[in-house]
Structure 1
Amino acid sequence: MSTTVPSSELTASAPAESADITEAGTGPAAPRTASWGADPYANALRTGRGPLFLRRSDGWLLPLDVERWCSDAGSADLSALHRCEGPVLDIGCGPGRLVAELTSLGHRALGIDVSEAAVARTRGLGGAALLRSVFDPLPGEGRWGTLLLLDGNIGIGGDPAALLARAADLLGVGGLLIAETAPVDVDERVRVRLDDGRGGLPGESSPGAVCGAAAEPFPWARIGTPALLRHARACGWRTADQWGAEGRTFVSLRRPVRERSARTSSQSAESANSTPVISSQLPK
């Protein structure tokens, strides 16, 4: 379901940003392949229901909980949101239930997603959202208080070490990463496609199969709590908490104490410790 998202679309989708965050790299992102921007995902968000799966080439299916994503935040979500500190960046915000709930709780919150449908739905709920990948330039780099990687989003990019390194660059000193892990002890890298459940095995065709560029596989990871803690320790993260709620499992981690990239370390101490300005992200 890969679709190319040109930089001009990203610029048009992102409202004007405050000068207070221009040094954080908020310009247009480079063109990229956005696997979550194609029809099966957009259709599921529009209807608020599945079926929707991540499908491996061998036919194995991982169900995606579209109905829960499109509902209000539940008690398991709240167990994570009540741990948030400072301004919050929801990575892979989907249809926006977490951003909307955080806003109602009084947090400054911003969602990012590579799906136009997800960003539009988040904004429709009154939340702030940008059409970006976590690996694109983002507002407030080095100043976020909390990052969220819920609903399986710890698998983004298929490389947990790279995602943890990027998260460390986004967080302020002492910042918190809250991740939802797989409820089993697993540590795997896969290439998957989005599937609405009507397609056949590779090479087969059916009326519901996804065709063309939208069928391109993308990298993903499945990480249980033991595996995430191993990856985190190797990168210098400190474990803050572990818990479970409604059959879901979560971990919170403190940002490593280390030197930042040249771009981030060149910021003044005052700028690095200030909070991101995100009120201007709201659609006008």
Structure 2
Amino acid sequence: MTLLAGRADLDQSPTFGSGGTEPYAAALRDESAVLYLRNTTAQVAAAAPMDAGRWSAGADATDLDVLTGAAGPVLDIGCGPGRMVRAAMDLGLSAIGVDVSPTAVRIATAAGLTVLNRSVFSPMPLEGGWGTALLLDGNIGIGGDAGALLVRCAELLAEDGALVVEVSQDPDRDHAFQGTLEDAQGRSSGVFPWAEIGIVPLRSRAGEAGLRVDQDWIRDGRWFARLVRR
């Protein structure tokens, strides 16, 4: 498979929380919502809870810490309703978001934010010119191929740009799977490709994408890494 063909497959693959009865779209309207990410390929399909309400709330101290020293323009990949876009703008940075959920984009644009309804693997403005790109809230899992996503992010960054990734709390985690989203009301999404990766395999994948981990840190139980060009 060529890189171009692989990118087309990722661009057209089912996306996070889409299909089915759309629990993700419903959760975006409810700051108390909890979603469950279920690995459908596991022998025992355990479901991991996700604090979906945080995505629709304002940026907290940990979110703001991610933007310390960030250079604009900022691209938030998988931005949801746009809390990090708003946070970056409040810090005086130019910022836009990108998300595949029409509901998320409608909420963000209604709040006056610039958010594009498309896949990160689609053509983007400022290709090769972003000062900072964000992959938070598990969004390193987009497309189910962390390596391909890092390559794409490297293409988007300016020469001196940085990518901030939120990684798994398990440093050795490196798992791609087919997942679904469920909520407490029993609504379930369609099946979509997803991935989870910790700091150890991220270092290797970053190198393959022409990036390196410049620093990593843990705050409030969340683990982050800052990647720059090698």
Query: What letter matches 2:85 in structure 1?
Result: V
Compared CA separation, residues 32 and 183, structure 1 to 2 (3 A): closer
- Is the contact made by 1:95 and 1:119 (CA closer than 8 Å) also made in structure 2? yes
Displacement of 1:104 in angstroms is 1.1
1-side partners of 2:25 and 2:228: how far apart? 34
Query: What letter matches 1:223 in structure 2?
Result: I
* Corresponding position of 2:158: 172
Secondary structure of 2:89's counterpart equals helix
1:78-132 per-position Cα deviation (integer Å, ceiling 9, x unaligned): 1111232120000000121110111111111010000011111222332210101
* Corresponding position of 2:53: 67
2-side partners of 1:152 and 1:239: how far apart? 17
Q: Identify unmatched segments of 5+ residues in structure 2.
A: 1-10
- Is the contact made by 1:37 and 1:117 (CA closer than 8 Å) also made in structure 2? no
Displacement of 1:32 in angstroms is 6.0
Displacement of 1:209 in angstroms is 4.1
Equivalent residue in structure 1 for 2:94, among 108, 124, 130 = 108
- Is the contact made by 1:46 and 1:117 (CA closer than 8 Å) also made in structure 2? no
Percent of residue pairs bearing the same amino acid type: 44
Matches within 5 A, 1:183-262: 183-185=169-171, 186-198=173-185, 208-210=186-188, 214-215=189-190, 217-256=191-230
2-side partners of 1:151 and 1:251: how far apart? 13
Displacement of 1:71 in angstroms is 1.3
1-side partners of 2:16 and 2:60: how far apart? 27
Secondary structure of 1:194's counterpart equals strand
Displacement of 1:31 in angstroms is 6.4
Equivalent residue in structure 1 for 2:34, among 51, 59, 64 = 51
Tell which structure's C-alpha radius of gyration is larger: 1
Displacement of 1:141 in angstroms is 0.8
Displacement of 1:197 in angstroms is 3.7
Normalised to the residue count of structure 2, the TM-score between the two structures is 0.87
Deviates more, 1:86-95 or 1:54-63: 54-63
1:17-60 per-position Cα deviation (integer Å, ceiling 9, x unaligned): xxxxxxxxxxxxx8664443442011000122322111112321
Is 2:121 aligned against 1:138?
A: no
2-side partners of 1:254 and 1:174: how far apart? 7
Query: What letter matches 1:196 in structure 2?
Result: D
- Is the contact made by 2:23 and 2:187 (CA closer than 8 Å) also made in structure 1? no
Displacement of 1:150 in angstroms is 0.4
Deviates more, 1:92-101 or 1:78-87: 78-87
Query: What letter matches 2:212 in structure 1?
Result: R
* Corresponding position of 1:127: 113
Q: Identify unmatched segments of 5+ residues in structure 1.
A: 1-29, 199-207, 257-284
- Is the contact made by 2:178 and 2:193 (CA closer than 8 Å) also made in structure 1? yes
* Corresponding position of 1:41: 24
2-side partners of 1:253 and 1:34: how far apart? 25
User: Aligned pairs, how many?
Assistant: 214
- Is the contact made by 1:36 and 1:114 (CA closer than 8 Å) also made in structure 2? no
2-side partners of 1:238 and 1:209: how far apart? 40
2-side partners of 1:209 and 1:65: how far apart? 16
Secondary structure of 1:156's counterpart equals helix
Between Structure 1 and Structure 2, the one with more strand by share is 2
- Is the contact made by 1:240 and 1:254 (CA closer than 8 Å) also made in structure 2? yes
1:195-234 per-position Cα deviation (integer Å, ceiling 9, x unaligned): 1144xxxxxxxxx343xxx42x111111111121121123
